[in-house]
Structure 1
Amino acid sequence: MPFVKIDLFEGRSEAQKIELAREVTEVVSRIANAPKEAIHVFINDLPEGSYYPHGEIKRK
C-alpha cells in the first residue's frame, strides 16, 4: 500500500491539489504496479516561515 507525502508551501488551489493527487496516483500505479485503490496521497500545506533548511528561515 503506497503512501505518498507531498509538502508544499501553501497557496495551491483545491483544483491544483486534486490534479496533483490524481497524476501522482497514476504514475505510482503504473511504475509500482499498485492498484489505484491502494495508493494514498497526502498533501501538506506548509505556512511560510515553517521551513528552516540549514537552520535558516526559507521564504517562498
Structure 2
Amino acid sequence: MEHFDVLRLGLILATQAEIEGMKAENMQREAIGASMAFDEASFCNKADELRNLVYCNEDQL
C-alpha cells in the first residue's frame, strides 16, 4: 500500500468507528426511553463523508 492509501484507510476506519459510537449511543438512549441522539440524516452525513474520502485527491487528505 502507498502512503496515501494507508492514510485514507485510517480515515475511513476512524469514520466507521464514529458511526459505531453513534449507533451505541442511540441504543443506550433507547434503553432508557430517551430520544435518539443521531437521526437518519446524521448517518447519511457520515456515509457522505466516507464517499468523499474514497474519491478525494491525495492532497485533500
- Calculate the TM-score normalised by the size of structure 1: 0.33
Q: Larger % of strand: which? A: 1
Q: Write 1 or 2 for the structure with the bigger share of helix.
A: 2
